Amino acid sequence: MTNDALSAPQPSASPEEVRLDHPRPGHTRRRGPRRRPTTGSTQTPSTREAILTAARESFLAQGYESTTIRAVARTAGVDPALVSYYFGSKGDLFGAAVNLRVRASEEIAAAVSGDLRSAGPRLVRLSLTAWDDAAGGATFRTLLRWMATDVSSPEAIQSYATEQIATPMAEALKQSGLSGISARERATLAGSQLVGLAMIRYVLRLDPIASASVEHLVEVVGPTIQHYLTGPLRPR
């Protein structure tokens, strides 16, 4: 701030502002952190699930950009502050809302945590079996189609790919003895291959990938994933 700005005359406060700044005798202004927005009796697991259900439906129907925390709260029948209390930002809410069989991060970590020399085909089989499933994979397929058309989807894609695929895979790779940098690079490469495969199979629906059997794709894509996980990444 400049000296001119500091010395410039400031507008006088209105009577209402004066009353707000100087409360009446005997009245004290509340200070400190706000209390949790609802009473303990309503803060149950079912409340959290209601928020997640409302958010999931909104993200899939309206897209990321058009979904608001206020609208999600209204559908779930809770205060918007409670949504933020449980989930933080809209990006965090999105990540939690699609945390179904869609992400299967625990299964991804388990697949990598086994014999790393055969983890590539296991990851492809695991992913495609889950995504092909008529019921369990429906949300994921809808999510992919929305990501392909929503202009705000890069943030959502980054959140999903990072938190639901790359991070659990990298953690499992580190547990196998790889350095953190190498594990992250390998996990990101493998994750990008899986997401790209899903886009071609479920969104673009390009044959022969779209109509190929899971076992055929395990056979042809598995070695590529395996190379990302255990093969050399630098020219020798």
Tens digits of residue pLDDT in 158-174: 666 666 677 888 888 88
Q: Which of 139-148, 182-191, 196-205 comes out lowest in average pLDDT?
A: 139-148
Domain CATH number, residue 82: 1.10.10.60
**Model confidence at 21: pLDDT above 90:** no
Do residues 117 and 73 share a domain?
no
Instruction: Verify that 127 and 74 share a domain, yes or no.
Output: no
Instruction: Quote the pLDDT of residue 153.
Output: 60
Same domain, 122 and 213: yes
- Predicted pLDDT of residue 158: 66
Q: What is the pLDDT of residue 214?
A: 96
Contact 111, 122 (CB under 8 A): yes
Cβ distance 101 to 165 under 8 Å?
no
pLDDT at 152: 60
Structurally, the chain folds into a number of domains equal to 2
- Of all residues in the chain, the percent with pLDDT exceeding 90 is 31
Q: What is the mean pLDDT of residues 53-82?
A: 89
Task: Determine the distance from the C-alpha atom of residue 122 to the mean position of all C-alpha atoms in its chain, rounded to a whole number.
Answer: 23
Q: Answer whether residue 65 is part of any domain.
A: yes
Mean pLDDT of 147-168: 68
Nearest to 172 by CA among 222, 125, 114: 114
Q: How large is the average pLDDT for residues 204-212?
A: 95
State the residue range of the domain holding 85. 42-97
Q: Do residues 92 and 124 share a domain?
A: no
Which residues, other chains included, contact 34 with Cβ-Cβ below 8 Å and sequence gap of 6+?
A: 81
Report how far residue 56's alpha carbon sits from residue 21's, in angstroms, rounded to the nearest whole number: 43
Instruction: Find all residues with CB under 8 Å of 38, minimum gap 6, and list them.
Output: 47, 78, 79, 82
Task: Reply yes or no on whether the pLDDT at 47 is more than 70.
Answer: yes
DSSP 8-state secondary structure symbol assigned to residue 14: P
How many Å is the Cα radius of gyration of the chain? 25
Largest CA distance in the chain: 80
pLDDT reported for residue 159: 65
Q: Are residues 83 and 150 in the same domain?
A: no
Over 60: is that where the pLDDT of 145 sits?
yes
- For residue 137, the SS3 value is coil
Residues 43 and 36 sit within 8 Å (Cβ to Cβ): yes
Co-location of 71 and 112 in the same domain: no
Q: Look up tokens 């997401």; give the residue.
A: 195
Please report which confidence band the pLDDT of residue 14 belongs to, taking 50, 70 and 90 as the band edges.
very low
Residue 41 predicted with pLDDT over 50: no
CA distance 85 to 71: 16
Dig out the tokens for 48 from the structure.
Answer: 């959290």
**26 is a domain residue:** no
- Cα 218 to the chain's mean position, in Å? 26
pLDDT given at position 79: 95
Alpha helices (H) along 77-163:
80-87, 90-97, 105-113, 119-132, 138-149, 153-160
Q: Kindly report the number of other CB atoms within 10 A of residue 26's CB atom.
A: 5
pLDDT band at 31 (very low <50, low <70, confident <90, very high): very low
202 shares its domain with 109: yes
Q: Establish if 63 belongs to a structural domain.
A: yes
Q: Is the pLDDT of residue 13 over 80?
A: no
The string of pLDDT tens digits covering residues 165-199 is 778 888 888 888 888 788 999 998 998 899 899 99
* Boundary residue ending a domain (52, 69, 97): 97
CA-based nearest residue to 70, from 60, 83, 61, 59: 83
Phi, psi of 152, rounded to the nearest 5 degrees: -95, 5
